[in-house]
Structure 1
């Protein structure tokens, strides 16, 4: 795809109608990013690749990006879904046909956080010409749009890495943000935030001093599309995220929080960093403060 004329994406969030009208446009690549978190008595939630679901039915022409594999989760990382270095990400995306001139649309079968995670990884690698499909495959099929079975692998392309490591932080970055009075946002549910219910990661509750905007609550459960932008903006503003100098979103493993990074960026915030390993890392150190209630 290198050397092709890039299609102009209208926004970082595109509609099913727009995608249907532009599905065969030169320079556009579409990817299914589905993963499933399955209840497991040993690990609370087990990550299962969405490849079988993709091969059973996907948007025509779409490739598949597997976050459970070694390309997009660092196999040397101590925690699940640890983000690879920007240079490794660029090489992996290039191997799937994403080049410097490629426009990318990302979707998932159910939870859009897988698509926003890949959108953020493209940002970290330095590729800006990407969008998330609003409503994903659920909305696409509900509208009677076509799907196809099987698998597709696009020819490799060259994606020049333009690393943005500042878009991701570790626990030291979170501690620095808290000490500086920046906004740390928990994307998990209110029950998880309070420590009163839902999955926890070894210690219930939240990072002490953090606020809560649940990524779950930013979706319309009927359509799987995001709720109106004005409502999302109001939710972010209510916890001080839009007014803060810097925002660090987190969740259990850096997936749900990518919805927060995606939306804060869409709303114009230019100083947002994802806590990549999130509570999966934080809870392992008893010296790191947690709160409940």
Structure 2
């Protein structure tokens, strides 16, 4: 493994200077999430976008089919088993000695979340040499960085997962937190969503939108700004920090922002509100 550690937030200059490094794997993680005329969410792969243009040498990581548990359609992005993740990572050419940079091609105001989801998964399964391209594809192309349309299958590698349960939270973990003064539960959804429905005693630090950890240009806030934001809600002094959102995606981006701010052991509630609100025994609160 190279001694050149991957930054948590990867600057385009850093990546451009290392595109030819033999141990570097770049993965496009794009998923498109849209709302149809009935208000239902529709998911589609970003594979076609990757084919049309991508960071040179990158491969496409399919979060919908290959990197999520697919048995329950009500929870489309649940964490895969260690064995399934190891197989998917190896098929993408990622070994335990690889340095990995992740990005997505979602519009600047909402990007990084899919890349951050896979960043969190790599950490859950024991791989720390991983970072997210800060600003994603939007910034890469805005800075006139090299683009490729050449596609090829990655050369398979060997990846062994080392599961870290402390980075994953479930309903029982969250249920024990509302009255725990040493814990901080953070909702990563927008303020309007937080006001409408939330887990009791949770704090709101939105991943996107107003007063969010991601700026309007798609990059994360400066580290000091993130530290101040999380200090305001008690995360920096908490013994345990858990993030959640609607389905675990924005919560993963929140975990990355926490990591950048120095809170490296935050857990993501993988089921988030999709699972929580489906259980009639779990309380919710709102401003109304």
Normalised by the size of structure 2, how large is the TM-score? 0.92
Query: Cα gap change, 1:135/1:56 in structure 2, threshold over 3 Å: closer, same or farther?
Result: same
Q: 1:76 aligns with which of 68, 71, 95?
A: 71
The runs of 5 or more residues in structure 2 that have no matched partner are: none
1:264-275 aligned at under 5 Å gives the runs: 264-275=258-269
Query: Cα gap change, 1:67/1:10 in structure 2, threshold over 3 Å: closer, same or farther?
Result: closer
Q: How much does 1:41 deviate? A: 4.0
1:121-200 aligned at under 5 Å gives the runs: 121-181=121-181, 182-195=183-196
**Which deviates more, 145-154 or 25-34?**
145-154
Matching residue of 1:200: none
Matching residue of 1:226: 220
Moved over 4 A (4+): none
Q: Distance in 1 between matches of 2:119 and 2:83?
A: 16
Q: Distance in 2 between matches of 1:194 and 1:151?
A: 45
Q: Secondary structure at the match of 1:22?
A: coil
2:244–2:269: 8 Å Cα contact kept in structure 1? yes
Structure 2 residue 207 is matched with structure 1 residue 206: no
1:60-86: CA deviations, max 9, x gaps?
1110101111x2111123511011122
Q: Distance in 2 between matches of 1:271 and 1:139?
A: 29
Q: How much does 1:273 deviate? A: 0.9
Matching residue of 1:202: none
Q: Distance in 2 between matches of 1:74 and 1:22?
A: 33
The runs of 5 or more residues in structure 1 that have no matched partner are: 196-204
Normalised by the size of structure 1, how large is the TM-score? 0.91
1:28-52: CA deviations, max 9, x gaps?
0101001111112456321111111
RMSD of the TM alignment (CA)?
1.5
**Which deviates more, 90-99 or 177-186?**
177-186
